[in-house]
Amino acid sequence: MHDDSLLLGTELSVTDLTTLIKRTLEEGFYGLRVSGEISNFRPASSGHWFFTLKDSKCALSAIMFKSSAWRVNFKPQEGDKVVVTGSLDVYAARGTYQLKCDTMEKSGSGDILAMLEKRKREYDELGYFAPERKKKIPIKPKRVGVVTSATSAALQDILQILSRRAPSLDILILPATVQGSSGAETIANRIRQANLLLLCDVLIVGRGGGSLEDLLPFSEDAVIQAIYESEIPVISAVGHEIDWALSDFVADLRAPTPSAAAELVSQGILDLRQKVESLNLAIHKAMQHRLQLLEHRIPSTIAMQRSMTHLLEKREYLLANAGQSMSQAYKDKLEKSTQRVLLATRELQALSPLAILARGYTLVFDSQGKAIHNQEEAKVGEHIKLTFIDGSRKALIEE
Amino acid sequence: MSFETDVSRIEEIAQKLNASETSLEDSLALFEEGMLLSKKLEKTLSEAKSRVEIVLGDEKESAEITPF
């Protein structure tokens, strides 16, 4: 089929012909490097890019799939002059062909990259990137300086992350122009200013994402020199993860993004917060353990209580016993006394003069109530009183 | 006391609290001290007392610093 002569006069189906074209184009046009201007740029929600690549005379429809598009470090704009690499792709269902792009860079960026590589080599040879020159980023900084645009989203990200992770950290913003021809000078000036006035103990130097040209100030000699000379440790945080600038190499630490720089700077404080928290927990646990051990010894207290109760019961019993014997003794004594009283009473009764009267004797008293014991005392003619057991009578002595 | 000495003091306290030869009275005193220290440190680290300031002026050797 590939032999042209075979096509002459041969009847082909659309599919046959399209398949032939597809194979011819795709096998014949690959590893292409095409320069042109972007037109009718249509990014799809799927992440794929559709656009037209054109120059003054011709236009070529082009596609860049998401898998390649995310690697492009700028957002293509209408009229951007770019260089793409890729291959031709035939869309059989429509019979159209397009340029399938694998990479895209701005025209001239190849030159820029070559220039940066050259500069990087030079500084490397001068020892600017030597690992032993890297200063340590303080674990617990007191004030962090941020050299970036005062109005940028990158700064907002940094402030937000720092206030969340290390609320005690002071922040000093050193506003700089981060793109364009004056950028490098203002960035370098801010780094020097921070050093001269010793304004902070760590510096973040960076900006958010942008095109290769946008990031150029961070690769300029002035910035490289200022970072190299900085006594304050510098964290370079330029663009996105995939971007790089020479500041990344000369700085003491490279952060992939400004947000990541904020995280790095606050990591020590965050770690310390966690350490304090875990120590606090450890003390609590140790104390709890200690108390638990003591609690385990409490059963012995219960035993002590039990033996105490036992002792008390025993004493109570003894006391009750003693009480009883005491009251018994008392009762005995009472009884004995009663007996004695009774006996005494009886004895007394036996001695009573009344008892004599009961036997028939009579007591004689004179008119003054004095007992008359003999004849002498009983005078004739006197009235006397005779007392019997049951009463008395008056009598007159006649002779 | 510096932050670092405070931290190592708490570590020491935790260690002593775990040691069985520390008496209960000592434990309680240590515990109290440890709690006070850790609260103080936590406060130092997480209290939102940070100042956000900005340097004004382009002069390299002078700076006017004002709240941001």
ipTM, 2 decimals? 0.78
Q: Are A140 and B27 in contact (CB < 8 Å)?
A: no
Burial class (CB in 10 A: 0-12, 13-18, 19+), A176: buried
The answer on A388 and A265 residing in a single domain is no
Phi (first) and psi of residue A153, to 5 degrees: -65, -30
The answer on A358 and A217 residing in a single domain is no
Q: CA-CA-CA-CA torsion for B20, B22, B24, B28, nearest 10 degrees? A: -120
> Which amino acid is present at A281?
L
Question: Hey, is the C-beta of B9 within 8 angstroms of any chain A C-beta?
Answer: no
Task: Please spell the DSSP secondary structure of B18-58, one letter per residue.
Answer: H-TTS-HHHHHHHHHHHHHHHHHHHHHHH-----EEEEESS
Q: Which residue bears the tokens 């004995």?
A: A336
Confidence of residue A1 (pLDDT cuts 50, 70, 90): very low
Q: Identify the domain boundary among A224, A248, A270.
A: A270
Terminal alpha carbon distance of chain B: 32
- Strand, helix or coil for residue A53: strand
The answer on A191 and A177 residing in a single domain is yes
Q: What range does the domain containing A373 cover?
A: 353-396
CA distance B29 to chain A (A): 11
Q: Are B18 and A289 in contact (CB < 8 Å)?
A: yes
- Strand, helix or coil for residue A302: helix
The average pLDDT across A91-101 equals: 93
Do β-strands A202-207 and A234-238 pair in parallel, antiparallel, or remain unpaired? parallel
CA distance B49 to chain A (A): 5
Q: Are A294 and B50 in contact (CB < 8 Å)?
A: no
Q: Show which residues on chain A lie within 8 Å of chain B, measured between beta carbons.
A: 140, 150, 159, 162-163, 166-175, 186, 189-190, 192-193, 196-197, 199, 269, 272-273, 275-277, 279-280, 282-283, 286-287, 289-290, 294
Query: How much is the pLDDT for A299?
Result: 67
The answer on A257 and A118 residing in a single domain is yes
Closest to B45 (Cβ–Cβ): which among A189, A273, A283? A273
The answer on A116 and A232 residing in a single domain is yes
Q: Are A220 and A176 in contact (CB under 8 A)?
A: no
Q: Are A286 and B7 in contact (CB < 8 Å)?
A: no
Domain presence at residue A322: no
Query: How much is the pLDDT for B62?
Result: 66
Domain presence at residue A151: yes
In the predicted structure, residue A250 carries a pLDDT above the cut 50: yes
Q: Identify the domain boundary among A244, A270, A296.
A: A270
CATH number of residue A16's parent domain: 2.40.50.140
The Cβ of residue A264 has, within 10 Å, a number of other Cβ atoms equal to 18
Q: Where are the alpha helices (DSSP H) in A230-297?
A: 246-250, 258-296
Domain presence at residue A305: no
The average pLDDT across A44-69 equals: 93
Question: Number of folded domains in chain A?
Answer: 3
| pTM exceeding 0.90 | no
Q: Identify the domain boundary among A49, A77, A107.
A: A107
In the predicted structure, residue A3 carries a pLDDT above the cut 60: no
The answer on A252 and A130 residing in a single domain is yes
Query: How much is the pLDDT for A98?
Result: 94
The answer on A212 and A78 residing in a single domain is no
- Strand, helix or coil for residue A50: strand
Closest to B61 (Cβ–Cβ): which among A150, A175, A196? A196
Q: Are A196 and B51 in contact (CB < 8 Å)?
A: no
Domain presence at residue A342: no
Give all strands of the β-sheet with A363-365 in edge-to-edge order.
A363-365, A383-388, A391-396
Q: Are B24 and A192 in contact (CB < 8 Å)?
A: no
DSSP-assigned beta bridge partners for residue A43 = A49
Average pLDDT for chain B: 80
Q: Are A174 and B55 in contact (CB < 8 Å)?
A: yes
The average pLDDT across A49-61 equals: 93
Domain presence at residue A260: yes
Domain presence at residue A313: no
Domain presence at residue A316: no
Do β-strands A170-175 and A202-207 pair in parallel, antiparallel, or remain unpaired? unpaired
Q: Where are the alpha helices (DSSP H) in A37-182?
A: 66-69, 109-125, 153-165
**Two structure tokens written together for B59:** 């002069």
Q: What range does the domain containing B22 cover?
A: 3-67
Q: Which of A89-103, A280-294, A354-368, A385-399 has the highest mean pLDDT?
A: A89-103
Name which of A40-49, A207-216, A344-353, B19-28 the model is least confident about.
A344-353
The answer on A185 and A131 residing in a single domain is yes
Question: Number of folded domains in chain B?
Answer: 1
> In this predicted model, what pLDDT tens digit does every residue of A369-391 receive, in sequence order?
888 888 888 888 888 888 888 88
CATH number of residue A139's parent domain: 3.40.50.10550
Domain presence at residue A237: yes
- Strand, helix or coil for residue A315: helix
Average pLDDT for chain A: 88
The answer on A260 and A160 residing in a single domain is yes
Which residues of chain B have a CB within 8 Å of the CB of A173?
Answer: 52-55, 68
The answer on A233 and A89 residing in a single domain is no
The answer on A118 and A80 residing in a single domain is no
In the predicted structure, residue A394 carries a pLDDT above the cut 50: yes
